[in-house]
Amino acid sequence: MSAAPPTPSAYVEPGLWTHQGDTLAVIVTAANSKAATQAVERAGGQVSSDLYIIDAVAATLPTAQLPYLASDPAVISITVNKGVKTSATADPYWPWLTDKAWPVADDVGAVQLHDAGITGEGIGIAVIDSGVYFSQGMWSPNNQGLAMDFAVQVDLLVAQSCNGGYDSWNRICYQAAGQTIDPYGHGSHVASTIANRFKDKTTGIYLGIAPYAKIISVRALDNTGVGTYENVIRAIQVVVERKNSDNIRVLNLSLSAPVTTPYFADPLNRAVEKAWAAGIVVVAAAGNDGPASETITVPGNDPYVITVGAVDSNRTANKWSDDYLSGWSSTGPTLDGFPKPDVLAPGARVVAFMYKDAVDKTKSAKLAQDHPDYSVTTSLFRMSGTSMATAVTSGVVALMLQKNPSLTPDQVKYRLMLSSRPALTSNKKDIDYNIFQQGMGRIWAPDAVNGSFPADGKANYGMNINTDLAHGLGWKDSNKNGVVEESELSASEMAYHYQGEFGRMLSDDGRAYMYYFINSAGQTVAMGVAWKNNRRWLTQSEMSSSGLKWNNGQVTWSTTSFTWAGGVSYGGGRARGGGAHWGANNFWGSSNTWAGGRARGGNVTWGGGTSWTGGNAWGGSYTWGGGRARGGSLSWSGGSMTGSSMKTTTWVGDTWTDTGAAPPLTALSLDLDLNPTGGSPTTIYLPILFNK
């Protein structure tokens, strides 16, 4: 009779327990990567990569050995070595050739900065993607060199076929501009959206947002645009290692993966946070699973980084009145309760480099082969996605850093968000999209670069990324049932992680969710409502006729009391995005807990009058609702992890279960300054929930 498997003591991502195959692909975390290696080998596994930046290794493990590895006292966590993909698509909405390259740089105001000599020169931008291929069109016809300042491509996928310098120990190929490859094409498009010093012949506008920034390409995605956590984390290690030698100040991550754990237990997010803590501004895609709520993907769900959604310029560059939120752009809140995306940027029908061979189709980039009608020329290709919006934003960040090189990542995020312009209806008083759809609004480079900001202004206020990284879950399976339960979580460990400020409440009839936060006065403030069945956001007109009620009929939607005035300021330079520590007294209460799991994307439609037709204004800078003190006073109460969903303020999967009511809702007054450079503040009108 064989002995019973040992009791797990490490955190194990729930889906691993139900894996059906013989072998698991995992990421194992310990005190350091050496300890993780030894633990894997003791359990009969094999290490494939040293992920020292997060004190972990990537490994394969016989499925039957999982309980033994999980019971090793040296192991802190075991998570899935998940797949990642690009956050872009060949544009399906306009199946004909674009007649010109849309001047995206003009649409974000970068042209004004270019004219003043702010071009991103000297700023290194790392692009972790499918690579960069320099086709003939990317070499100047006048022998002026490449279309971009290119430092190197660090290829993590080629081995014996490396045509540059090969590091066999680390399995890395170093390639110069004439040696690089990008079989898929996505990386070339992203890199040349960021930094392209060629100009449009008609307008004289640079095709790149930061035309003279330096690109460092790290190839971690294959010829289908797919990769693994393992290789993306390896790529982040390369970026941090080369930070000083290449002056890497920005990391572009136009890629995404599904959310299956809390942000702080996700290995990719931990690697991203390491880069942020090292002084590198990380810009990540929100994902293309919108328009439903709760669809932000990894690593865009990480509260520290800059997360970018996409706006569609509607084929009318530099005319904002007919622009609208792209229907596929993922929306928040994150499953940790944080408001995302942070900002929007143009991401639809963006034209940039991708190779299409005029003679031999098989030599073209795969995207160009699959979608030949989206090729503008043999060198230019039209794509849409939050990938493109992320690239645009990375370019703007480079402009910010050239002008103000001493800025920290938190300061960059603060200034970028505070200078963004939210979508308002034509009366310039009503918000067209809620905070979970548009964040702080669309970016505007001149204000982000040249605006006046508080000296101590920074994002992620009240959060400490280093102590967050230094702590795990501290789980001990005291009742030996393999389920992570609230009473088994170490308060001393969980106290260093954060929860977002937003909760969710189900309507009395079970049709819709209301997303809310609780302010410092104990008032509950609604920030958006989405249908339960497909998570589509309701418009104001839909709200007026919906008859929805919450809290046993005590809360309804007001269509008359919209005025927000007086009361909220982010003193001391606070920006939206902080968090409260985990621990007892969760402000969500029992009404908002993780549970179950639902498919994302594909089954939701965009409608109900959500486009911005009829004229829209993009208001000046202002901060959103919030205003409660952040820090240790509000926190989650832990919870139990089981299967692939969270139960009772605990982790499991990617949706919430509602078991109770939130505190009563009341009207809230907020001071929203639409004219930060002077003059009288403008009153903003927003729908507010109130007590009957």
Active-site positions read: 129, 186, 387
Q: Which two tokens stand for residue 630?
A: 């952040």
Task: Please give the Cα distance from 522 to 244 (Å, whole number).
Answer: 46
- Listed in sequence order, the DSSP H helices in 477-607 are 491-494, 540-546
Residue 417 in contact with residue 622, Cβ under 8 Å? no
Residue 149 has a CB neighbour count (10 Å cut-off) of 21
Mapped to the 3 state alphabet, what secondary structure does 151-209 carry? Answer: EEEEECCCCCCCCCEEECCCCEEEECCCCCCCCCCHHHHHHHHHCCCCECCCCCCECCC
Secondary structure of 260-305 as H, E, C letters: CCCHHHCHHHHHHHHHHHCCCEEEEECCCCCCCCCCCCECCCCCCC
* Pairing of the two strands 512-518 and 580-581: unpaired
Phi and psi (nearest 5°) for 575? -120, 150
Q: Tell which phi-psi region holds residue 360, choosing left (phi > 0), alpha (psi between -120 and 50) or beta.
A: beta
Q: Which of 530, 570, 556 is nearest to 688 (CA)?
A: 556
User: Cα–Cα distance between 237 and 165 in angstroms, integer?
Assistant: 19
Measured distance CA(370)–CA(325) in Å, rounded: 26
Radius of gyration of the chain (CA): 24
- Residue 514 and residue 603 in contact, taking contact as beta carbons nearer than 8 Å: no
CA 105 to chain centre: 22
The closest alpha carbon to 622, from 494, 451, 386, 503, belongs to 451
Distance, CA of 17 to CA of 68 (rounded, Å): 12
Query: What is the spatial distance between Cα 65 and Cα 43, in angstroms, rounded to a whole number?
Result: 6
Q: What angle do CA 495, 497, 503 make, to 5 degrees?
A: 105
Nearest 10 degrees: CA dihedral of 449, 451, 455, 459? -70
> Which is nearest to 87 in space by CA: 393, 534, 522?
393
- SS3 of 312-345: the string is ECCCCCCCHHHCEECCCCCCCCCCCCCCCCCEEE
User: Are β-strands 172-175 and 149-155 bridged in parallel, bridged antiparallel, or unpaired?
Assistant: antiparallel
Per residue in 437-453, is it b (16+ CB within 10 Å) or e — as a string?
bbbbbbbbbbbbbbeeb
| Token code pair at residue 685 | 């009108």
Cα 28 to Cα 37: distance, rounded to the nearest angstrom: 8
CA distance 513 to 662: 12
Instruction: Enumerate the H helices of 422-573 as residue ranges.
Output: 435-438, 445-450, 465-469, 491-494, 540-546
What is the DSSP secondary structure assignment for residue 16, as one 8-state letter?
G
Angle at 172 between CA 166 and CA 177, to 5 degrees: 75
> How many residues are given for the chain?
692
- CB of 219 closer than 8 Å to CB of 152: no
| CA 494-497-502 angle, 5° bins | 115
